[in-house]
Structure 1
Amino acid sequence: MIKHIAEPKLDLCVDRSIGTPLHQQISERIKGAISAGSLAPGARLPSSRSLASQLSVSRATVELAYSILAGEGYLNRQHAAGTRVELRPIGLPPAPATRSPQPLMPGLASEAAQLPRPFQIGLPALDAFPRKLWSRLAGRHARSLPLSKMVYQATGGFGPLRQAIASHLVVGRGIPCSEDQIFITAGFLGALALIARTLLSKGDEVWVEDPSFSPARHTLELAGGHLIPVPVDDEGINVPAGIALAPAARLALVTPAAQFPLGVALSIRRRSQLMSWAAEAGAWVIEDDYGSEVSRLDRPVSALKRIDFGERVLHVGSFSNVLFPGLRLGYLAVPASLAADFERTSALLPLQQSLLDQMVVCDFITQGHFGRHLARMRSLYAERKDALVDALTDVLGNSFKVKDTGSMHVLLRLPANSDDVVLANLARAHGMAITALSPMGLRARTGPGLLLGFTNIAPDAAKDAARHLKSLLAIPVSPQHRLSRGARMVPLEADISSDALSNHI
Structure 2
Amino acid sequence: MAGHQHLEHGSEDPLYRQIYERFRRAIANGTYAPGARVPSVRNLASELQISRGTVELAYDLLIGEGYLVARGQAGTIVSPSLAPQQVRDSLQRAGTARPVARAPDAATESYPPPFQLGLPALDLFPHKLWASLVTRQARVQSRLFAYPNPAGYQPLREAISAYLHISRGLDCSPEQVFVLPGYRGVTGLLSRTLLRPLDELWLEDPCFPPSRYLFAEMGARIVPVPVDKDGLSVAKGKELAPHARFALVTPAHQSPLGVPLSLARRLELITWAQQNNAFIIEDDYDSEFRYDGRPLPALASLVATGNVLYVGTFSKALSPALRLAYLVVPKPLVARFNEACARLHDGCPVLIQGVTADFINEGYFARHLKKMRAAYSQRREMVIDSMRATFGGRMQYEDMPCGLNLIASLDDAEDDRLLAQRAKSRNLAVEPLSGRYIEAPPKKGLLLGFANVKSEEKALALARELKVAIEAD
For Structure 1 versus Structure 2, the TM-score category normalised by the shorter chain is 0.7 to 0.9
- Aligned equivalents of 1:385, 1:170: Cα separation in 2: 29
What is the alpha-carbon distance in structure 2 between the residues aligned to residue 274 and residue 296 of structure 1? Answer: 26
Deviations 1:117-140 (CA, angstroms, capped at 9, x unpaired)? 211110011101110000111112
CA offset at residue 296 of structure 1? 5.0
Distance, in Å, in 2 between the alignment partners of 1:351 and 1:204 is 27
**Residues 1:120 and 2:109 are matched in the alignment:** no
SS across alignment from 2:412: coil
Which of 137, 140, 148 is equivalent to 2:136? 140
TM-score computed with the length of structure 1 as normaliser: 0.70
CA distance in 2, matches of 1:356, 1:296: 33
Please tell me whether the aligned partners of residues 313 and 334 of structure 1 are also in contact (alpha carbons under 8 angstroms). yes
Q: 1:307 aligns with which of 299, 302, 312?
A: 302
For residues 48-82 of structure 1, what are the alpha-carbon distances to aligned partners after superposition, in whole Å with 9 as ceiling and x for unaligned? Answer: xxxxxxxxxxxxxxxxxxxxxxxxxxxxxxxxxxx
Q: What is the CA-CA distance between 1:152 and the residue it aligns to?
A: 2.4
Structure 2 equivalent of residue 198 of structure 1: 193
Does the CA contact (< 8 Å) of 2:160 and 2:177 recur in 1? yes
How far is 1:441 from its partner?
0.6
* 2:399 maps to 1:404: yes
Distance 1:189 1:270 in 2: 27
Name the CA distance, whole Å, in 2 between partners of 1:251 and 1:452.
30
Q: For residues 217 and 80 of structure 2, what CA distance do their matches in structure 1 show?
A: 25
CA distance in 1, matches of 2:346, 2:390: 46
Instruction: Deviation per CA, 1:268-300: give whole Å up to 9, x if none.
Output: 110011000000000000001122112354542
For each residue in 1:254-277, what CA deviation from the matched residue of structure 2 results, as whole angstroms up to 9, or x when unmatched?
A: 000010000111011100110000
SS of aligned partner of 1:404: coil
Offset of residue 143 of structure 1: 3.3
Q: Distance in 2 between matches of 1:149 and 1:408?
A: 34
Structure 2 match to 1:68: none
Alignment TM-score, normalising by the size of structure 2:
0.75
Q: Residue by residue, what CA displacement relative to the aligned partner does 1:420-477 show, whole Å, maximum 9, x if unpaired? A: 222222212212111111111110122321111111102322111111111133x3xx
Please tell me the residue identity of whatever aligns with 2:407. L
- SS of 2:423's partner is helix
Alignment map for 1:383-398 (pairs within 5 Å) = 383-398=378-393
Write the distance in 2 (CA, Å) between the matches of 1:469 and 1:404: 21
The answer to whether the 8 Å contact 1:198/1:342 transfers is yes
Residue identity matched to 1:354: P
| 1:470 matched residue in structure 2 | 467
Q: How big is the shift at 1:154?
A: 2.1
Cα distance change of structure 1 residues 463 and 451 upon mapping to structure 2, 3 Å threshold:
same
User: What percentage of residue pairs aligned between the two structures are identical?
Assistant: 42
Q: 1:186 aligns with which of 178, 181, 190?
A: 181
Counterpart pick for 2:171 among 173, 176, 188: 176
The answer to whether the Cα contact below 8 Å between 1:256 and 1:288 also exists between their aligned partners in 2 is yes
Q: How far has the Cα of 1:237 moved from its partner?
A: 0.2
Instruction: Return the match for 2:207 from 204, 209, 212.
Output: 212
Distance 1:303 1:393 in 2: 34
Contact 2:322 2:352 in 1 (8 A): yes
Q: Which residue of 1 aligns with 2:38?
A: none
Q: Residue 212 of structure 1 contacts residue 261 of structure 1 at CA under 8 Å; is this kept in 2?
A: yes
Q: Is the 8 A contact 1:285 1:314 kept in 2?
A: yes
Aligned position for 1:354 = 349
Determine if contact 1:291/1:318 at 8 Å carries over to the other structure: no
* Alignment CA distance shift 1:154-1:341 (3 Å): same
* Aligned match of 2:440: 444
- Segments of 5+ residues of structure 1 without an aligned counterpart are 1-111, 476-489, 492-505
Q: What is the correspondence of 1:94-493 to structure 2 with a 5 Å cutoff?
A: 115-146=111-142, 148-295=143-290, 297-350=292-345, 352-406=347-401, 407-460=403-456, 461-473=458-470, 475=471, 491=473
* Native 8 Å contact 1:285 1:313 kept in 2: yes
Alpha-carbon RMSD = 1.7
Deviation at 1:416, TM superposition (A): 1.6
Of structures 1 and 2, the larger Rg is shown by 1
State how far apart, in whole Å, the 2-side matches of 1:392 and 1:375 are: 26
Residues 337 and 378 (structure 1), Cα distance of their counterparts in 2 relative to 1, 3 Å cut: same
| One-letter amino acid of the counterpart of residue 123, structure 2 | D
Distance (whole Å) between structure 2 residues aligned to residue 299 and residue 394 of structure 1: 30
Residue 217 (structure 1) shift: 0.8
Residues 163-208 of structure 1, C-alpha deviations (whole Å, 9 max, x = no match): 0000001112111000010000111221121111111011100000
Counterparts of 1:412 and 1:224 in 2: how far apart (Å)? 35
CA contact (8 A) 1:253 1:287 kept: yes
Aligned partners of 1:283 and 1:312 also within 8 Å: yes
Decide whether the 8 Å contact of 2:150 with 2:346 is kept in 1. Answer: no
Partner Cα distance (1:362, 1:426) in 2: 43
Matched residue count:
365
Give the whole-Å Cα distance in 2 for the aligned partners of 1:352 and 1:154.
6
Matching of residues 61-72 of structure 1 within 5 Å: none
